Chain A
Amino acid sequence: AQSVTQPDIHITVSEGASLELRCNYSYGATPYLFWYVQSPGQGLQLLLKYFSGDTLVQGIKGFEAEFKRSQSSFNLRKPSVHWSDAAEYFCAVGAGTGRRALTFGSGTRLQVQP
């Protein structure tokens, strides 16, 4: 069965600093990979997704993620964090066939210090 691990429950960075959120997945084949962001009281917004092709994926709000098959990782990065990026971030893996449901990690809460 597929699974996702986000090792960092909570991260605090200073505004303007770079950010990397870790995501490791377990899946038997090439997965579909996603990052979502959830602001307080809101639903989840898709930041970016990887299906195939270029392993460096660009998303909205200046985020990018890199798929590394050898490390089973799909880490999210941003070169300069803004205070508005404070939120919870979820990594997810999806199967290419079958029930097509995503498996989500437990999330990383990002706090941004001024």
Chain B
Amino acid sequence: GAGVSQSPSNKVTEKGKDVELRCDPISGHTALYWYRQSLGQGLEFLIYFQGNSAPDKSGLPSDRFSAERTGGSVSTLTIQRTQQEDSAVYLCASSTDQRPGYTFGSGTRLTVV
């Protein structure tokens, strides 16, 4: 597509429920990143996919968080047993080559009540 697409744009969920956030990167972009932006905070790196390599999961805050990327394209970030501290905007970004410099999606605003 023309840009990085994320869905849903907003998600309200009850504490303890699982949620799935979707990211559709720009066609042909081999690198895909997930970041989290909490209220009034900067961006926190979560996970990085590059081609067929094993993902870099070093930023995932707990084992409740996981992500996959199918067919080298669409990615899904899953949060299990959501907690209130998971409330944030989750941003996805993709890039075309080995050097950073991403295109970001508009994000998914997750609210855990």
Contacts and interface: CB of A to CB of B under 8 A. Distances in A.
Contacts of A42: 106-107
Contact of A101 (B41, B59, B91): B59
A92 B104 CA distance: 14
Nearest to A106: B42
14 contacts: A42-B107, A43-B107, A44-B91, A46-B101, A90-B42, A90-B43, A94-B100, A94-B101, A100-B48, A100-B99, A102-B45, A104-B43, A106-B42, A107-B42
Interface string A18-45: 0000000000000010101000011111
Interface residues of A, number: 25
A100 B100 contact: yes
B31 interface: yes
